[in-house]
């Protein structure tokens, strides 16, 4: 099973890309169907997830070893950044601050500020980063994000080391 995954780096990268897209789709479901407002840290994690998906997808599409290594490295950096943000949000959820200073209401931003100032504020998110709105198996979205980003980082790190220890030949994707 491990050889099936790590024996074909392009397949592994494609699976990471698919997992990231699935997580993004679930986040959109929680936002638009369930009605959960993403906080600024959630938005940062989404951007990190998008970039992990893009870098893993581009690396999986390339048969050139150098481009795969660059894609793996960039995906690894984004996965670590996402894990850091998710860990920080988890910490805020466990130790909420006395004064909430994480986000503001979207409608209030549009009514108060001109559009060129309101748009960037909207993409920062509007929820409270320390609030736990949804849980699964006792873990919040931030906790699950940390687990996912850490898993992606570990998989990318293993792929990077396996790519570095392989000879100059390019593995075929099955």
Per-residue pLDDT, 174: 41
Low-confidence residues of the chain: pLDDT under 50: 1, 4, 103-107, 165, 167-174
Per-residue pLDDT, 102: 52
- Look up the pTM and report it: 0.71
pLDDT digits (tens, 9 = 90+) for 84-110: 888 888 877 777 666 555 544 444 555
Rounded CA gap, 119 and 114, in Å? 9
How far is residue 169 from each of residues 11, 125, 148, measured CA to CA in Å?
16, 45, 31
Per-residue pLDDT, 87: 87
Nearest partner of 78 among 144, 2, 17, judged by Cα: 17
Bridge-partner residues for 136, per DSSP? Answer: 139
Rounded CA gap, 10 and 99, in Å? 47
CB atoms inside a 10 Å sphere around CB 7 = 13
What's the angle, vertex CA 103, arms to CA 100 and CA 108, rounded to 5? 120
With contact defined as beta carbons under 8 Å apart, do 11 and 60 qualify?
Answer: yes
Rounded CA gap, 38 and 21, in Å? 17
Q: 């407002």: which residue's tokens?
A: 37
């Amino acid at each position: 099973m491990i050889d099936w995954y790590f024996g074909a780096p392009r397949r592994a990268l494609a699976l990471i890309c698919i997992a990231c897209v699935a997580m993004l789709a679930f986040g959109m479901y929680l936002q638009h169907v369930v009605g959960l407002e993403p906080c600024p840290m959630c938005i940062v994690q989404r951007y990190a997830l998008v970039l992990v998906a893009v870098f893993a997808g581009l690396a999986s599409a390339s048969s050139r070893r150098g481009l795969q290594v660059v894609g793996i490295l960039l995906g690894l950096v984004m996965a670590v950044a996402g894990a850091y943000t998710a860990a920080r949000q988890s910490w805020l959820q466990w130790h909420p601050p006395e004064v909430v200073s994480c986000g503001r209401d979207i409608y209030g931003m549009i009514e108060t500020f001109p559009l060129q100032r309101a748009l960037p504020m909207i993409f920062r998110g509007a929820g409270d980063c320390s609030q736990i709105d949804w849980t699964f198996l006792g873990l919040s979205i931030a906790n699950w994000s940390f687990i996912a980003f850490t898993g992606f980082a570990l998989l990318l790190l293993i792929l990077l080391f396996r790519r570095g220890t392989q000879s100059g030949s390019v593995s075929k994707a099955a």
